[in-house]
Amino acid sequence: METAIYVRVSTEEQAQEGFSIRAQEQKLKDYVRIKDWSIYKIYADEGISGKDITGRPAVKDMIADVKAGLVKNVLVFKIDRLTRSTADLIYLVDLFNANDCEFNSLMESIDTQTASGRMFIKIIGIFAEFERENIIERTRVGVERKVKEGYSLCTSSASFGYDRVKGQKMQTVNPAEAEVVRDVFEMFVNNGLTLTDIARRLNLRGILTKKDKTWSSVKVRRVLTNCNYVGDVRHHMSDSKHKQEYDGLHEAIIPQGLFDAAKDILEQNKKVGITKPPNDNKYFAGFLVCAKCGYKMKTYESRKQLKTKIQITVGYVCCNHTLGTCTVGSMSHKKVEAAFEEYISQISDFNDADNPSLAEEKKIKHDNSEAILSLEAKLKGLETREHETLERYVRNEIDFDDYREMKKLVASDKLVLSAELERLSAAPKPTAVKPQEIARNFRENWDKLSNHERRAFLKQFVERIVIESVKPKGEFFGQVKIREVRWRM
């Protein structure tokens, strides 16, 4: 493991025994040898205070190397050699974790491979969480004050219909977008169009959202419920405890009456119910994905009155087709099923020679729980011995050669116990299911399955089906083709 050794002394500590740069380096080098790590580089700051990490060239170099992935472990003699600031320590530990870099301190016996070391990291995490919560609280208070003064937050971008130049506190009306906002309210309140119909019309007109995206019913709803358009400002709308609205300083786009009318219609249209599972005659629901735009297909039903009965046709259509952003049309369930059967038939037959019976592959796992617990207890005892030996070396009760010999004996015993533990704990790996196996199962059983059983079959073996509709030249009806099936292996 590539290890960075960091050492530091301040001016007043230069003469103190055991704190010199050389003494720190030697102890840390010995520790690296014991741990069988490799030294990437030694970073030293001499005559510099540890109150913070600013103005310390060696720390800056080390941080750069950690971010670059060159260092996978940081080793210090004592934590205060790295920093005396709790905030800086939290920052550095977070930085190490984010870059998959471990942190170890010799004198405090902090080793992220030990329980005590991991406990220390958790304690640092608690302080970090406390600091983050303080920041969130201060930010919330600042947000509330700004909104009370009448300014819109516009954290990422202004609402559709407005612009806000960077550095400018108040948003201003965007004339072209404001006209679209008025059209949306007009279509919804006075023309009675649904949210999906409005989104479709905007997409067909080539109008994009503020982030150059196509419109959806959700985005139209956000426009209809945005109090910015009547001159108000708001904050924490997703937090029922803290959300508030205040009079804003910006210009309104629509009158209050029109906004209230839209709000009343949305309230009346609310439907609270349980989402029903798809009918058995739509057993491909949830598995189909449009090959053109990548969105999921949704189900539909069409009813036609015949002389003696009502003919019901079920099928699937791309969600983006209803919004006018995808040209792939609807597909009947029968065509989808035929395409799926054709796709399965093209997968080569499964070779029985490559499929040993499960009985032959199955291994009996003996009950070794007591032996495993015993081995784990012995390993824990060896780790305790290893830790105690290290502490004796740090306190200079034994020299390095004695410590290395004792370390070698413990490591040898740990190796033997670990190998035996691994053998007893080993479990046979499950055999992966091959597409050929699924294809054979499908061909043998599909005709015998009910619609409910077919859906259960798909849920067991299929993750997604990428499907497309191809219309040959000169033909009125399109042909359904399956481009890819992603199996659950």
The residues carrying an active-site annotation are: 10
- Please say whether the dihedral angle defined by the alpha carbons of residues 456, 457, 458 and 460, taken in this order, is positive or negative: positive
Cβ neighbors of 125 (< 8 A, separation 6 or more) are 93
Closest CA to 185 of 134, 256, 126, 237: 256
Angle (CA) 306-309-314 rounded to 5° is 85
Closest CA to 220 of 199, 200, 192, 194: 199
**Residue at token pair 């960091």:** 6
Taking the CB of residue 211, how many other CB atoms lie within 10 A of it? Answer: 9
Enumerate the H helices of 36-174 as residue ranges: 57-67, 79-82, 86-98, 115-148
Map 292-358 to HEC letters.
CCCCEEEEEEEEEECCCCEEEEEEEEECCCCCCCCCCCCEEHHHHHHHHHHHHHCCCCCCHHHCCCH
Taking the CB of residue 106, how many other CB atoms lie within 10 A of it? Answer: 20
Q: What CA–CA distance (Å, rounded) separates 159 from 171?
A: 9
